[in-house]
Structure 1
Amino acid sequence: MVGMRDVAKQAGVSVSTVSLVVNNAGYVSDDMRARVEAAMHQLNYIPNELARNLYRNRTNTIGIIVPTILHPFFATLTAHMQRELAKRGLKTMLCSTADVATGESEYVNMLQRHMMDGIIMAAHTEHQPDYWTSIRRPIVAFDRILGTGIPAVHSDHEAGGRMIARQLIDSGVRHAVLVGGPRSQFTQSMTFPTVRYHLTVEHMLAGAGIACDYVEAGSVTDVVAHEATATAIFERYPDVDAIIGSDVVASVALQEAGRRGIAVPGDLQIIAYDGTLAADLAGKKLTVVRQDFPAIAAALAEQMDQQIEAFDTSKRERRGESADSSADSSVVADAATSVDAADQAGKAEPANRSAEPGVVIPVTFIPGETTR
């Protein structure tokens, strides 16, 4: 097997020079670099990736934590994240908290033991903010606020709520039903930006004198419960003339309406929130608020790049002080500020979006065949 010594001999340089070229570290003149690269090509030398990572103290692996990949939203998000990270030369390690017993703790431990370079956190967590901020390693949050100093990316859910409400108001809806996760999340809206679309719809419909009920469909990990909830709406609210929910909920509601002989959109309007492949397979073109998955993935990857760079810079500055993880450095990031929580009833008007921390990705309202 060809090694660095063989390349060094072929190029007439030292082994340390070959190492600098291979690891793209330190200064090497253009002439010297060209000689080393030519020797590598002539000898068909393939750098040892493990050795390179050890030299750079990098794994080039990012952990992505999601609730479950059974849900179309997280399956779509994961696919785009893996593609985006691969473009940047990074591998993906996936953790589905609903499908493994250890949950996020195992991944955090792996991060602290330098077995991955960072974590993108996109699942519900029971841990308090001080848990996440104490890790002091690259972490980026998606659709949740983990704590001060941890960057976040989320869609413009408030704008999505306004789009939905305006459609319902303008089309003369009398009784809308929103379907979502546990209502308890509404009192924790500083942690879950997603609930802002529900709160915005409720507030605008209340202002227009339109009845609006909220139905809990259980955890996002329980897709079967979402399907059952969508079916039960028709029995619980016989006068419902608008249903708003995830792509899964909207698709099941559309199919159930067909079985009951309810005309869509004449007697019932249906709006899906997410815009995944599931919305395209409903049997009729659903009206959707589409989240921009490529832009979300790009923003998360960019934030992770910045976190890793800041971490590496700080680590270089501290080199020689201490080898333990507590002295590794804190990640430099813009401090995330808390978002005002909604009131207990969940009817309070959402705070202005400009007060929300993190990178906000626009959503798009796409009219289909299920709204008037």
Structure 2
Amino acid sequence: MVGMRDVAKKAGVSVSTVSLVVNGTGYVSEDMRKRVEKAMKALDYIPNELARNLYHDRTNIIGVIVPTIRHPFFATLAALLQQELANKGFRTMLCSTTDSLNGEAEYVDMLRRHMMDGIIMAAHTAHAPDYWSSIGRPVVAFDRYLGAGIPSLGSDHEQGGNLVADLLIRSGTRHVVMVSGPRSQFHDLEGEGTTFPTIRYYAALEERMEREGVKYDYIEAGEVNDMRGYAHAMHDIFDRFDDVDAVVSSDIGAAYCVQEAHRRGVSVPDELQVVAYDGTYLADTAGKRLTAICQDFNAIAELTVRRMVEAMEGKQTASMQMSHTGELDDLVPVRLMLGETTKQQ
């Protein structure tokens, strides 16, 4: 196997000069650099990436932790994060907590041992905030609050809830049913705080319905990896509420709702309006094009990676310095995409 000594001998320079060229550190004259690069090419020398990373105290590997890659939202997010990280010269190590015996703990251990450069955390965690702040290595939270000093970002879910409310109020909705995860997520921090900023979407919608005198209910569909939970929840809606005229859920729940309505002979959107939240590829595959609140995946991926690079460089943004417990540092706007499942076109 060709090594640096062989390259140095071929180029007629010292091993330290070859090392400077390979690692991109220190000053090397242009003539010397060309001689080394020519020798490397002639000998088909491949630098030892592991040794080079150790030299720089970098692995160029970022861990991305999601609840499950079976869910279309997290599958889409993971794909775009991997693409954006690759554009910045990083490789992605993906972890699905529901499909892993040790959850995020194994990845955090790898980060502590410098086996990766940072973690993007997009899954629920039972660990207290001081667990994350004690790691002392770059961590960025997506749609999660992990604790003071941990950069966090997500979609503007309060805006999303208000967009849905505006749409339903304009169309004269009388009884809306919301379907999502366990209600306990709304207050999983001491006091009234939550690590789940996504609940602000439902909180904003409920507040508007209350203010307008519109009847509303909330049905739990199980954990995020329980796809069939949404199917069961939609079945229950039609059995429990004979006056429901609007259903709001994730893309998965909305798609199941359209299918259940069709089986029961309920006209969508004339008798029942359906609004999806996420705007993934699933919004176009439900039999009818779903009206959806679309999260900006490209902007989310770009901002997440930017915050990761800043965290690796030890930078703290102004938004981090102003954020409060349970709040995100950065909010990415959402948009309403009108489809065939609501009356407002």
Indicate conservation of the 8 Å contact 2:245/2:271, yes or no.
yes
Report the CA distance between 1:155 and its aligned residue: 0.5
Tell me the residue number matched to 1:25.
Answer: 25
Tell me the residue number matched to 1:216.
Answer: 220
CA distance in 2, matches of 1:301, 1:139: 11
Indicate conservation of the 8 Å contact 2:147/2:325, yes or no.
no
Q: Select the residue among 235, 247, 252 that pairs with 1:248.
A: 252
SS of the aligned residue for 1:98 comes to helix
Tell me the residue number matched to 1:163.
Answer: 163
Q: Select the residue among 271, 295, 298 that pairs with 2:302.
A: 298
Report the CA distance between 1:336 and its aligned residue: 6.6
Deviations 1:278-318 (A, max 9, x none): 222101100011111111111111111111222xxxxxxxx
Indicate conservation of the 8 Å contact 2:154/2:328, yes or no.
no
State the AA in 1 paired with 2:46: I
Q: Does 1:48 pair with 2:19?
A: no
Q: Select the residue among 312, 322, 329 that pairs with 1:358.
A: 329
Deviations 1:17-38 (A, max 9, x none): 1111111122223333233223
CA distance in 1, matches of 2:303, 2:123: 17
Q: Select the residue among 181, 193, 197 that pairs with 2:197.
A: 193
CA distance in 1, matches of 2:146, 2:60: 23
Deviations 1:71-123 (A, max 9, x none): 11111111111111122221111111111221111111111111111111111
Indicate conservation of the 8 Å contact 1:150/1:336, yes or no.
no
Report the CA distance between 1:39 and its aligned residue: 2.6
Q: Report 1:125-274 matches (<5 A).
A: 125-188=125-188, 189-274=193-278
Report the CA distance between 1:208 and its aligned residue: 1.1
SS of the aligned residue for 2:99 comes to coil
State the AA in 1 paired with 2:222: G
SS of the aligned residue for 2:98 comes to coil
Tell me the residue number matched to 1:346.
Answer: none
Report the CA distance between 1:226 and its aligned residue: 1.7
What RMSD in Å do the two structures reach over aligned CA positions?
A: 1.6
CA distance in 2, matches of 1:308, 1:227: 42
Q: Does 1:338 pair with 2:324?
A: yes
Indicate conservation of the 8 Å contact 1:296/1:361, yes or no.
yes
TM-score, normalised to structure 1, is 0.87
TM-score, normalised to structure 2, is 0.93
**Percent sequence identity over aligned pairs:** 59
Report the CA distance between 1:266 and its aligned residue: 0.6
The size of the alignment, in residue pairs, is 337
Tell me the residue number matched to 1:314.
Answer: none
CA distance in 2, matches of 1:56, 1:180: 45
SS of the aligned residue for 2:120 comes to strand
Q: Does 1:16 pair with 2:16?
A: yes
Report the CA distance between 1:166 and its aligned residue: 0.2
Report the CA distance between 1:249 and its aligned residue: 0.3
CA distance in 2, matches of 1:27, 1:238: 77
SS of the aligned residue for 1:7 comes to helix
